[in-house]
Amino acid sequence: MSENSTSPRPRVEPESSLKPDSSSTRTSTSELAKAAVSGWLGTAMEFMDFQLYSLAAAIVFNKIFFPDVSPLIGLIAAMATYGVGYVARLVGAVYFGRMGDRIGRKRVLFLTIALMGASTTLIGVLPTYGMIGIWAPILLVALRLVQGFGAGAEIAGASVMLAEYAPAKRRGLISSLVSLGTNSGTLAASGLWALLVSTLPNDQLLSWGWRVPFLASFLVMLFAVWIRRSLRESPVFEHRADVVDGIALSRSEMTARTKDQREDQPEGILERALHQKKGKAFLIALGLRFGQAGNSGLVQTFLVGYLATVLLADKTIGTASIMYGSLLGFATVPFVGWLGDKFGRRRLYMVLSSLTILFAVPMMLMITSGNPALITLGMIIGLNLGVLSLFAMESVTMAEFFGARTRFTQLALAKEIGGILTTAIGPVLAATLTAVTGQWWPLAAMLIGYSAVTLIAAAVGPEVRGRDLVRLEDAV
């Protein structure tokens, strides 16, 4: 899928006939609904996989895949096996992102959901260490790599697809529905595990019960694959000026095409895309990603453990707070998407980031108060204000920032690189700072820092609400 491929190509239309037409990208209500369900299911499966594995790693995997080591080392090994998926995500973002920009969104999204679903299901039929020895954890790592490879482009592709389907005036609201998949997947996985742990004795949970959630994901995959098989290609991709017979022109083909243009003609669509300097839009998008991803790592990952191990609060408070906050998110996410359509992306990003900065210290005071009601309220507000609201804005804003020619690739990389720099590293940094200082203020400082990066990125970036997504060049 190289950008510089020089293989023979079929006819190329005159550039005058390759101009984008926003009106031609309109879709029927049924097609739009199908795209929304497709994006929601894909994101739900990604976060269901995330939660299924993290809970399994904490509850059973250290015992059935790493039984010959101490419980602590087994837990570390199980979590490390989970971590290798992040490495594969970045590779998947590059590989599938470039493919999606080259041959279309639909084909890639079919592959990513199939890879994710198949690998998750196969984890449910893996033999344990007691059956095949060291090959059990090796196979587990292999499946995690495949799972991460597909997941690296799934949420980015779903975001691109839905944004390119949605009418400009409702793009924020409709694109935000992808974000609801996070709540759906997390709640579904948590509910399955809670049911198993509460109903099965430990020996049955270790022998066969742990397999049930992974095998159940097969049903979600089947439905998602069925939806995506019948989904039409993105109307924006179909109407791109650089797409001929369903495949994007390579850079060399575009260069050759622009040489045929007369010197006295104004700069054309393809030439503008070729000559635009890349990087500024990506850096701004990466800054926008920092707030959501960084705050997510602190609120949804670190603070849950911090409450139980450092503050010695009841272990159910943190998990219950995240569950209640996720339920509230089903109202928060579409509401914020609607606000983005009404008042603009840039202004809303700045407001949400500023409010998160102002709430950081009060939130930590509530969480360290020892009062269960205040702890729960602080976590719920923090999750919806600093994480889910920004997530609702993220997908549509990034899609509008990037040009159609590299939208899939750049969006996927911004999400994955931002996630590695914040969600993966942030909790480790938070644990180190709180251990060294013995105080809560470093956590507030990190929340403020992450949100400040997003505030600055929004301030220096342009307003992109309603931008024509068929344009090949980035917004800046």
Sign, CA dihedral 22-108-232-44, equals negative
Structure tokens of 135?
């090959």
Residue 475, amino acid:
A
| pTM of the full structure | 0.85
Q: Are 121 and 218 in contact (CB under 8 A)?
A: yes
Query: What band does 2 get if pLDDT is binned at 50, 70 and 90?
Result: very low
What per-residue confidence (pLDDT) applies to 474? Answer: 94
Q: How far apart are CA 113 and CA 147, in angstroms?
A: 9
pLDDT at position 3 over 70: no
Residue 79: what pLDDT? 55
Per-residue pLDDT at 72: 53
Q: Are the C-beta atoms of residues 295 and 447 closer than 8 Å to each other?
A: yes
Averaged confidence pLDDT in the chain = 85
Per residue in 184-199, pLDDT (tens digit) is 888 888 788 888 888 8
Residue the block writes with tokens 């603009």:
344
The rounded distance, in Å, linking the Cα atoms of 98 and 328 is 36
Q: What is the pLDDT of residue 68?
A: 66
Higher pLDDT: 415 or 318? It is: 415
What own/partner pairs with CB < 8 Å and gap ≥ 24 does 213-216 have?
213/52, 213/56, 213/124, 213/189, 214/52, 214/56, 214/120, 214/121, 214/123, 214/124, 215/121, 215/124, 215/125, 216/192
DSSP 384: I
Output the pLDDT for position 277.
78
Q: Say how far apart CA 58 and CA 76 lie, in whole Å.
A: 9
Helices (H), 233-371: 235-238, 251-259, 269-275, 280-296, 303-309, 315-343, 345-367
Residue 200 C-alpha from the chain's centroid: 33
Per-residue pLDDT reduced to its tens digit, 74-119:
555 555 665 667 778 999 999 999 999 999 999 899 899 889 889 9
The pLDDT tens digits of the residues spanning 117-174 come to 899 899 999 998 888 988 888 888 888 889 889 888 988 999 999 999 999 999 999 9
Question: Under a CB-based contact definition with an 8 Å cutoff, are residues 364 and 387 in contact?
Answer: no
Q: Do the Cβ atoms of 49 and 113 come closer than 8 Å?
A: no
Which amino acid does the sequence have at 222? L
- Residues 406, 101 contacting (CB under 8 angstroms): yes
Q: What is residue 23's DSSP assignment? A: G
Nearest-10 crossing angle of helices 211-229, 29-56: 160
Q: 244: which strand partners?
A: 247
Instruction: Give the separation between CA 221 and CA 438, rounded to whole angstroms.
Output: 45
**β-bridge mates for residue 300, sequence order:** none
Instruction: Return all residues near 97 (Cβ < 8 A) that are at least 6 apart.
Output: 153, 156, 157, 408, 409, 410, 411, 412, 413
C-alpha to C-alpha distance for 437 and 418, rounded to whole angstroms: 27
Instruction: Output the six-digit token pair for 174.
Output: 């409709």
State residue 374's pLDDT score. 96
What pLDDT shows up at residue 266?
Answer: 46
Question: 248 in helix, strand or coil?
Answer: strand
Lowest mean pLDDT segment, chosen from 41-45, 347-351, 381-385: 41-45
- pLDDT above 50 for 262: no
Q: Which of 188-192, 352-356, 417-421, 461-465 has the lowest mean pLDDT?
A: 188-192
Q: What is the pLDDT of residue 17?
A: 39
Which has more confidence, 52 or 450? Answer: 450
Q: What is the C-alpha to C-alpha distance for residues 99 and 197, in angstroms, rounded to an integer?
A: 41
Contacts of 95 (CB under 8 A, 6+ apart): 149, 153
What does the block give as tokens for 164? Answer: 């390119």
Mean pLDDT within 305-313 = 80
Write out pLDDT tens, residues 198-209: 888 888 988 899
pLDDT at 50 over 80: no
Residue type present at position 451: S
Tokens at 206, concatenated: 């270790």
Higher pLDDT, 82 or 294: 294
pLDDT computed for residue 251 by the predictor: 83
Per-residue pLDDT, 82? 59
CA atoms 455, 459, 460, 462: torsion sign: positive
Query: Mean pLDDT, to the nearest integer, of 347-373?
Result: 96
Whether the CB-CB separation of 54 and 193 falls below 8 Å is answered with no
In the predicted model, what is the mean pLDDT of residues 51-67? 75
Other residues' Cβ atoms within 10 Å of the Cβ of residue 208: 11
